[in-house]
């Protein structure tokens, strides 16, 4: 393999690795944001002697709906 071909291959591998790292960081930020939002929307409901923890669905819908398009 020529040095140019090896160099191109290394550049592609490096770019793929950087993309993977960026995706992991983005996923970590999204998980942290979702945890925070869910914690804010978490409620405890008592039903007789039972205690149920409830999370509002809108907590997740707010995040999933933010794709840059106006709401329908």
Q: Are 4 and 23 in contact (CB under 8 A)?
A: no
Give, for 42, the enclosing helix (H) or strand (E).
Answer: strand 42-47
Q: Which residue has the higher pLDDT, 68 or 59?
A: 59
Residue 62: φ, ψ to 5°: -60, -45
- What is the mean predicted confidence (pLDDT) over 54-58? 78
| pLDDT tens-digit readout, 8-50 | 999 999 999 999 999 999 999 988 888 888 888 888 888 888 9
């Amino acid at each position: 393999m020529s040095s140019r071909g090896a160099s191109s291959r290394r550049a592609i591998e490096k770019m793929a690795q950087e993309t993977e790292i960026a995706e992991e960081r983005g996923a970590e930020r999204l998980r942290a944001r979702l945890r925070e939002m869910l914690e804010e929307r978490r409620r405890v409901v008592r039903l007789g002697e039972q205690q149920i923890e409830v999370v509002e669905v809108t907590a997740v819908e707010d995040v999933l709906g933010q794709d840059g398009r106006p709401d329908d």
